[in-house]
Structure 1
Amino acid sequence: MKQGKISETVYKRSIIKGIHFKKPEVLQGVTLPGTSSAMRISGDGNTLVTAGFSSRNIGADAESIGIISVVNEIRSRGAEPLGVIINLLYPPGYTEGELKSAIHSFDDECARQGMPILSVNGEVTDNVVRPVINLTGLGKAQEGRLLSLSDCRPGQDIVMSKHAGMEGTWLIGQMKKAALEARFSQRFIMDINRYKTEFSVAREAAAAGRHGVTAMQNVREFGVFGALWDLGTAAKTGIRVELKKINIRQETIEVCELFGLNPYQLLSEGSLLMIADDGEALVHELEKEDIPASVIGRLTPGNDRVIVNDGEERYLMPPLNDEIEKLI
């Protein structure tokens, strides 16, 4: 297999087809890499939701970003976070002081997200050359509130909140500070540094839940294009999206131009795809809470995933790597 994330083809062929034992309590099992699962909790009618995060600690605040990511994934399923299990792998030479700092970062973000740490497992091993973070988040959906992409149907609108590439732009600001300072103003860089305050999707997930959306898709690795691909796969529908309807900030455009990156395949924690019968009504509800959003397209019959730009159509392909990998 090639280095990097296991491809969708291999995942389906060698993982999904290799799992045969199932129980009726499992409502959403193994479907796509990195997606959440759901299991009915006996007796109280609630559903347990799990979400995972794995990072090779490629940049600043990996601990905080990991916690935000699993909470966002849980909220995108209509659930509330319960707690997180942390597994850490460190290379030899990693100090106890660095471990304490990491735990402090985890704990601070957990406090902000309202999700306590349930357990921490750590190991120092020469099998890794950089710290590896694996998180398993647990959440609970009330009876009848669990959202599933399999319930989506052709004709529904796709609404996207906030802006494409926010997380990647912020991370580049941390990784390539000198290059940005040589090119852009201090105000420009300060604006990028504030992006992290928008990574949580708690407010739009709550508003979308009240509106009665069919499903939501968290936007993470591989950016908006990756999330749209996963949406079509899970919903078993086609997709037609207008590229210019996808909100993107000028800072992201300029940073991506500087490093030759595609902003639509760049880390995008903080954005959420929402599937609704009336997308414009949902956008109106989100805007009342000062959450930028737009109807970027709709679900279509069949399997074609089409991106339209100035009348020109092209087919969306499954992204192999996130654009941030080019800078590592």
Structure 2
Amino acid sequence: MKAGNISQTIWKRSVKKQLHTERKEVLFQPSAEEACSVVRISKGKLAVCAQAEVSGASVRTGIYAAVRALNDLAVHGVEPTALTVQILLTPDAQEGDLKAMTGCLESVCLEAGVQLACVRAEVTPAVVRTVIFVTAQGEAAEDALLRPAYALPGQDIVLCGYAGLEGMLRILDEREEELGRRFVPAFIQQMKQLRGNVLALDAARAAAAAGVKAMYQVGSGGIFAGLWELAEAAGIGLDVELSGISVRQETVELCEYYNLNPYQLTSAGCILMTARDGDALVKALERVGARASKLGVTTDKKARVITSGEEQRYLDRPAPDELMCWWERTGGTDCRPV
């Protein structure tokens, strides 16, 4: 199989068809698009979990797993309370690496107002670079739960955040020394200053307060995959203007250097939303300091159309994430920044 998330076809054939056990307390049936598990713990009260896994050689790797899991709770209208973490270390890892990784995870918890409730770590020859698994937990009222499946035809599509930003930052973490030979120090510093733009809890809260019922965090495969997955989850079509997708110039420069497609680059912190009044939603998001723009509209057709100037094309099924392709091409050499 190809690197990255398995395809929806494989998931349905080799995962979904093997699942037969059901309990009435479990609200969501597993799907390739759903990022959370939801259990009713009492009348009107839900316990919600979101899982994320990230691998890399940088001590900052766990930040992106934590951010992804926390954001996935937030886009479901859930207030996160705690994180549990499992760290798989390579045999050449040092205790100082583990200490730094834990410190990075704690910094995310401090920013998000959640507790790092459990951390387990082990050294194993089964991995060639550190793998970090994060589960974010929270609670929600049943009538406040949001889902990407609630998107309806005839709504505006709003993008909050920047496409490809997570992938750019992760490559920076892995290759800072190399990039320092390509770009001037001021440009590298600009890239680092964008690290605070991937945790999107305030933006998700603002969207929920504005009446948004459907949000979807862009993940592996980038914004193109996120648009496809949102449409699949809701059973809708899309009509999107490519120029509406916000991509930082820093991401563009890095992608040109490594020959990557920013629209297919992992994008934690980048959230798709649907609303009747996209302009009002954009203003609500801007009031909390988020970057937001209208991309297009949802439709009652099956077609997922992307327009660029006078050119139109249909959105393809998700391709492997460009970060995974980058890892394969570079061999995952350990070039941790000092």
- Please give the range of the TM-score, normalised by the shorter of the 2 chains: over 0.9
Kindly report structure 1 stretches of 4+ aligned residues shifted beyond 6 Å: none
- Structure 1 residues 289, 230: closer, same or farther in 2, change over 3 A? same
Distance in 2, matches of 1:2 and 1:100, equals 33
Q: Which residue number corresponds to residue 92 of structure 1?
A: 91
Q: Which residue number corresponds to residue 19 of structure 1?
A: 19
- Please state how far the C-alpha of 1:108 moved relative to its aligned partner: 2.5
Equivalent position SS for 2:132: strand
- Structure 1 residues 86, 309: closer, same or farther in 2, change over 3 A? same
Identity among equivalent pairs (%): 38
Q: Which residue number corresponds to residue 35 of structure 1?
A: 35
Equivalent position SS for 1:261: coil
Distance in 1, matches of 2:3 and 2:173, equals 25
CA contact (8 A) 1:34 1:52 kept: no
- Structure 1 residues 105, 34: closer, same or farther in 2, change over 3 A? farther
- Please state how far the C-alpha of 1:77 moved relative to its aligned partner: 0.3
Distance in 2, matches of 1:140 and 1:130, equals 33
CA contact (8 A) 1:84 1:117 kept: yes
Distance in 2, matches of 1:309 and 1:225, equals 14
- Please state how far the C-alpha of 1:178 moved relative to its aligned partner: 4.0
Structural mapping, 1:299-310, within 5 Å: 299-310=298-309
Distance in 2, matches of 1:166 and 1:306, equals 23
CA contact (8 A) 1:204 1:291 kept: yes
Alignment deviations for residues 139-174 of structure 1 (CA, whole Å, 9 cap, x no partner): 111231100122221111110012211112222323
- Please state how far the C-alpha of 1:3 moved relative to its aligned partner: 4.3
- Please state how far the C-alpha of 1:58 moved relative to its aligned partner: 4.8
- Structure 1 residues 94, 34: closer, same or farther in 2, change over 3 A? farther
CA contact (8 A) 2:64 2:166 kept: no
Q: Which has the higher contact order (CA 8 A, sep 6+)?
A: 2
Distance in 2, matches of 1:143 and 1:195, equals 35
Q: Which amino acid aligns with 2:82?
A: G
Q: Which amino acid aligns with 2:219?
A: R
Q: Which residue number corresponds to residue 103 of structure 2?
A: 104
- Structure 1 residues 291, 105: closer, same or farther in 2, change over 3 A? closer
- Please state how far the C-alpha of 1:60 moved relative to its aligned partner: 4.9
Q: Which residue number corresponds to residue 315 of structure 2?
A: 316
Could you tell which deviates more after superposition, 282-291 or 95-104?
95-104
Q: Which residue number corresponds to residue 165 of structure 2?
A: 166
Per the normalisation by structure 1, the TM-score is: 0.93
- Please state how far the C-alpha of 1:207 moved relative to its aligned partner: 0.9
Q: Which amino acid aligns with 1:166?
A: L
Distance in 2, matches of 1:128 and 1:171, equals 18
Q: Does 1:248 align with 2:247?
A: yes
Equivalent position SS for 1:32: coil
Distance in 2, matches of 1:232 and 1:297, equals 13
Equivalent position SS for 2:23: coil
Structural mapping, 1:286-297, within 5 Å: 286-297=285-296
Q: Which amino acid aligns with 2:167?
A: G
Q: Which amino acid aligns with 2:14?
A: S
Distance in 1, matches of 2:178 and 2:91, equals 31
Could you tell which deviates more after superposition, 174-183 or 282-291?
174-183
- Structure 1 residues 93, 286: closer, same or farther in 2, change over 3 A? closer
Report how many residues are paired: 327
Equivalent position SS for 1:135: strand
Structural mapping, 1:61-210, within 5 Å: 61-210=60-209
Distance in 2, matches of 1:34 and 1:237, equals 16
Q: Does 1:10 align with 2:10?
A: yes
Alignment deviations for residues 110-129 of structure 1 (CA, whole Å, 9 cap, x no partner): 22212212223333322222
Equivalent position SS for 1:123: strand
Q: Which amino acid aligns with 2:211?
A: G
Show structure 1 runs of 5+ residues with no match.
none
Show structure 2 runs of 5+ residues with no match.
328-338
- Structure 1 residues 177, 230: closer, same or farther in 2, change over 3 A? same
Q: Which residue number corresponds to residue 334 of structure 2?
A: none
Distance in 1, matches of 2:288 and 2:116, equals 30
Equivalent position SS for 1:324: helix
Q: Which amino acid aligns with 1:12?
A: K
Alignment deviations for residues 33-81 of structure 1 (CA, whole Å, 9 cap, x no partner): 67112222224x2211111111222545111221111111100100010
Distance in 2, matches of 1:71 and 1:56, equals 17
CA contact (8 A) 2:151 2:214 kept: yes
Q: Which amino acid aligns with 1:17?
A: K
Instruction: Please tell me the root mean square deviation across aligned C-alpha atoms, in Å.
Output: 1.9
Equivalent position SS for 1:176: helix
- Structure 1 residues 121, 171: closer, same or farther in 2, change over 3 A? closer
- Please state how far the C-alpha of 1:279 moved relative to its aligned partner: 0.8
Could you tell which deviates more after superposition, 145-154 or 161-170?
161-170
Per the normalisation by structure 2, the TM-score is: 0.90
- Please state how far the C-alpha of 1:288 moved relative to its aligned partner: 2.7
- Please state how far the C-alpha of 1:175 moved relative to its aligned partner: 2.8
Equivalent position SS for 1:321: coil
Q: Which residue number corresponds to residue 56 of structure 2?
A: 57
Distance in 1, matches of 2:125 and 2:180, equals 36
- Structure 1 residues 176, 34: closer, same or farther in 2, change over 3 A? farther
